[in-house]
Structure 1
């Protein structure tokens, strides 16, 4: 089961004791700041968690899965995530 924005708001409300509205505003503001920063092409580094990076992907040859026809895929930007060693250790039960 995935952690949703609603779950995050609930946990902020529970852990910090903010009202539901204030918790929701806080989470929404944080997400907007991250989106705006990534949208300008800058990386977002959250210590102890990881780094969101904007990468350029060049145009390349691809295939339409429905028809099997060859096609050219345009260059584009993608967001990648690299977790910190702290998070990696937690995932692997080393913490």
Structure 2
């Protein structure tokens, strides 16, 4: 199964279909939401989306890195990074599976292989 990235136009299409807005209005709404999230993170605030998760800004200190090819040490400048912590609702949704994983005791093939 090929993986697919959800891009801004996918979000716009979903908003158009779910709440019956014009494409232009949906695009503006998505842009405003994404812009507000970006502005809040840039200001150093955390962004919590109930039922989805929390975005945090983390300050990373300067450190010494190493070029893996040459082994030469190089300084890595301090920076800010975004971390995401999924909510329990999102975790539960991601961990639900319509088909059992290989080796799952609920999988009838697994039972057949185990008893054979």
Assess same fold via TM > 0.5: yes
Which of 82, 85, 89 is matched with 1:82 structurally? Answer: 85
TM-align CA RMSD: 1.3
User: Which stretches of structure 1, 4 residues or longer, exceed 6 Å deviation after superposition?
Assistant: none
Give the TM-score normalised by structure 1. 0.93
Which of 16, 27, 47 is matched with 1:24 structurally? Answer: 27
- Higher relative strand content: 1
Higher RCO, Cα 8 Å, sep 6+: 1
Alpha-carbon distance in 2 for matches of 1:82, 1:29: 23
Which of 39, 47, 51 is matched with 1:44 structurally? Answer: 47
Q: Which has the larger radius of gyration?
A: 2
Which residue matches 1:4? 7
Give the TM-score normalised by structure 2. 0.77
